[in-house]
Amino acid sequence: ALIVYRLPWTWKCSKLLMKFIHAGLNTIAMILAIVSMVAVFEYHNARNIPNMYSLHSWIGLTAVIFYSLQLFLGFAVFLLPFAPVPLRAALMPIHVYSGLTIFATVIATALMGITEKLIFSLKNPAYSALPPEATFVNCLGLLLVIFGALILWMASRPHWKRPLEENTEVLRPIGGTPEGTEAESTMTDGSNAEKSDLKISSEAARKQNLKLDEACQRSTM
């Protein structure tokens, strides 16, 4: 979901379609996170294991709470068409930063979780003896770090950003040019006032959308 706008093959797709894919992937991740948390609590309760005592559990629950808030605000502000453009432009950097922070927090939580599981589960031989299970899980942890680093790199490099022209093309004024010159050349002299109003409205809409896109470009997404 973080890099759905960063894949070159998506740059030719509709921005609205990519928004739905981005929101859909995040929704699936949220559902899986909730199911996982319920399973963990039920497992602990069945075995009389205390809940929410470790740093792993604290950070994990915090990540899920903030992720749910991120998902809700993303739907309300960026997916639904009711939020004004200035509000979207103002919240976009925060939305991007919080998304990257939550992702990094989830990676850290996973690393703490698998380490905690190894310490508790490996008794004979112990974790310190580095049995095959420990080697396997340690390699899994390294892969998680590499995966997280690659995703954060793609999400922060300018050359992976969706081109600005692809974002603003649909809001070009009548005539297919940013200034609307072709549309103006076909209008009669008697409609000069209407033409001017149309040009001003189109230019205002274009500038509003450019403002939002510039905010996106300044951010890391």
Structure-model confidence comparison of residues 145 and 10, the more confident one: 145
Stretch 149-172: mean pLDDT, rounded? 72
The SS3 call for residue 123 is strand
The predicted pLDDT at position 49 comes to 92
What domains can be seen in the chain, in order of their start residue? 8-162 (1.20.120.1770), 163-221 (no CATH)
Residue 102 CA: distances (Å) to CA of 81, 126, 182, 205:
25, 33, 47, 33
Q: Which residues pair with 126 in a beta bridge?
A: 123
The band of 161, judged by pLDDT with boundaries at 50, 70 and 90, is confident
User: Given this model, what pLDDT does residue 137 score?
Assistant: 96
- Write out the two tokens for 184: 């103006």
Residue 169 has pLDDT above 90, yes or no: no
> What pLDDT is recorded for position 175?
42
Residue 135: pLDDT over 70 = yes
Q: How many CB atoms lie within 10 A of CB 133?
A: 14
CA 208 from centre of chain? 22
Q: Residue 177 above 80 pLDDT?
A: no
What mean pLDDT do residues 161-185 have? 47
User: Taking a C-beta distance cutoff of 8 angstroms, is the pair 39, 33 a contact?
Assistant: no
What phi and psi values does residue 11 have, to the nearest 5 degrees?
Answer: -70, -20
126 SS3 class: strand
Q: Tell me the sheet residues that pair with 123.
A: 126
Q: Tens digits of per-residue pLDDT, 99-130? A: 999 999 999 999 999 999 999 999 989 999 99
31-45 pLDDT tens trace: 999 999 999 999 999
